Homo-oligomer: A and B are copies of this chain.
Amino acid sequence: MKLLKRKGKIIKLNPAQILVIGFGSLILIGTCLFMLPIATHEHGRGLSFIDALFEATSAVCVTGLAVVDTGSTFTTFGQIVLLCLIQMGGWGFMTTGIFMFIILGKRIGLKERLLLQDSLNVFTLSGVVHLVKRIILITLIVEVIGAIILAVRWSSEMPLKKAIYYGVFHSISAFNNAGFGLEADSLSKWVGDPTVNIVITLLFIIGGIGFTVILDLYRKKSFRKLSLHSKVALLMTLILNIVGTLIILVSEFDNPSTIGHFGLGDKLWASYFQGVVPRTAGFNTLDISQMTLSSQVFMMALMFIGASSGSTGGGIKVTTYAIIIFAFWTVLTNRNDVNIFRRRISWQYVNKALSIVVAAILFIFIIFFLLTYTEDAEMSKILFETISAFGTVGLSAGFTTDLTPIGRILITIMMFIGRLGPLTMAFALLKTQKESKVRFAEEKILIG
C-alpha cells in the first residue's frame, strides 16, 4: 500500500504496520486531550505526558489499568474522552475507520476491505462492510440495555442523573471489556449484588465472545450448526469460567481478608465475578492484593489466555489455547491430524497458534524482566501487572499507581502490544518479507 513517498522511493506498509500507526495516532490524540486543563479537576493543568499517554493507551487498548483514579481525577469532559477512546478502541481501529467512511458517505474500496479483513480477523471479503454495520448495531443495542438496567438498579441508592451516568459509563466500559470504573475500589461496593454481578458479567462475556460468534449464534440458533470457531469459543469460555469460579472459591474460602467472613451467597457471587473477570474485563469486587497467591497465579493464567478472537478482549485467545491443547494431544497420541469436533485443523493454523504463544511469552518476559530493574516490588505484583497489561485485562494487585515513570512507559508498551496481538506486533516490526529461494537438505536434530 503506497502511503508515503520519501526521496522518490515508495514506502510500502504491511497491514500490521498500518494498524500500529492507526492505534498509535488514536492514542496520541487521547494523550493530548488528557493533557488539557479541562480534562482534570486539578487546578489549571491536565495530566503529565507520561500519565496521559498511559491513560490514553489503557483506554484505546481497552485495558483499564489506571495511574489516576478515574472518578475523582477526571472532569466529565475527561471521562467522556475516556469513553470515546474506549468505544473506538473496542471496535478496533479499522472498524472505527470504516464507520467514519460510512458516515462520510464515501465508497469503500478493495484496499480498505482488505485492511478491514485483516483487522477483524474474518475469512472472506464479501460482507465485511455489512459486518461492520452489524457490529455497531449490536454494540449499541447491548450497551443501551445494559445501561438501562444498571441505571434502574443504581437509582435506588444515588440521584437519578448520577445513576444514569453510572449506568452508561459502566455499560460501555463493561461491553468493551475496558474495566474502567468510577469508584476507587471498582465494583467492590456491590460484591454481593445479583443485578450488578449478572449485568456486568453478561456485558463483558458477550463483548468478549466476539462479534463473529454472536452473529453466528443469531443466524444458526443451534449449537450443532455453528462454525467450528463458534463452538470452540463458546465451549472454552464456559469451561474456563466454571473452572475459574471454582478455583477462586476454593482458594479464597477461608481468607479473612477477602471472602472468609462472607455468607455463602456472597462467597459465590464474589468467586463467580473474580473467576470470570480475568478474561479480560478488568473490574474487581475483591481487593486483588489481599487474595491468596494461588488465586493470583490462576488469574495470571486466565489473563494470559484471554477472550475470543475478533472481540473486545485480549490475551492469546481461547481458540489459540484450544488449538495448542489439541495439537499437544495429537503429538502425544501419535496421530497425524489435529481434530476438534470432528473437524481437522491444518498444521498451518497450529503453527500460527504456537507462534502466537511463543511471541506472547517472549514479549511478556522482556517487559517483565526490564520491570525487575525499574521497580522495587515482589515478583507476583510485577508479573501480575505485566500479564494484566498484555491481556488488556486491567486487574492490578494495587501496583499501578506505584509504578516508576519508566515502569509506566513499559506497561504502556505492553498494553499496546497486547491489544494489537503479539504476532501482529512482531510482523509490524519486520521489514518487507523475503521469499526463500533455496530449499536446503533436511537434517535431524536431537531435542528434549
Q: Which residues of A contact B (CB under 8 A)?
A: 121-123, 210, 212, 227-229, 232, 251, 292-294, 296-298, 301, 308-310, 316-317, 319-320, 323-324, 327-328, 331-337, 339-340, 342-347, 349-356, 358-359, 362, 365, 368-369, 372-373, 378-380, 382-383, 421-424, 426-427, 430, 433-434, 436, 439-448
Contacts and interface: CB of A to CB of B under 8 A. Distances in A.
A297 B448 contact: no
A424 to B, nearest CB: 8
Q: State the 9 A-B residue pairs at the shortest beta-carbon distance, nearest first.
A: A309-B446, A379-B380, A343-B443, A294-B372, A331-B355, A320-B447, A356-B448, A228-B443, A344-B440
Quick one: which of A352, A434, A440 has the most chain B CB within 10 A? A440
A313 to B, nearest CB: 12
A372 B293 contact: yes
Contacts of A447: 309, 317, 319-320, 323, 349, 352-353, 356
A328 to B, nearest CB: 5
A229 B445 contact: yes
B298 A448 contact: no
Contacts of A446: 121-122, 210, 212, 229, 308-310, 317, 319
Nearest to A251: B373
A297 B379 contact: yes
A210 B343 CA distance: 42
A334 B251 CA distance: 44
Contacts of A293: 372, 379, 382
Contact of A335 (B228, B298, B344, B436): B436
Contact of A331 (B345, B351, B379): B351
Given A337-B439, A380-B378, A448 B320 contact: yes
A316 B440 contact: no
Contacts of A368: 297
10 contacts: A123-B444, A229-B446, A232-B445, A294-B373, A309-B447, A323-B447, A331-B355, A333-B433, A343-B442, A352-B448
A52 B308 CA distance: 48
Contacts of A443: 227-228, 343-345
A333 B434 contact: yes
Contacts of A292: 372
Contacts of A297: 368-369, 372, 379
A339 B150 CA distance: 57
A277 B421 CA distance: 35
Nearest to A354: B354
Nearest to A445: B229
A228 B445 contact: yes
Given A345-B442, A355-B331, A448 B423 contact: yes
Contacts of A294: 369, 372-373
Contacts of A210: 446
Contacts of A121: 446, 448
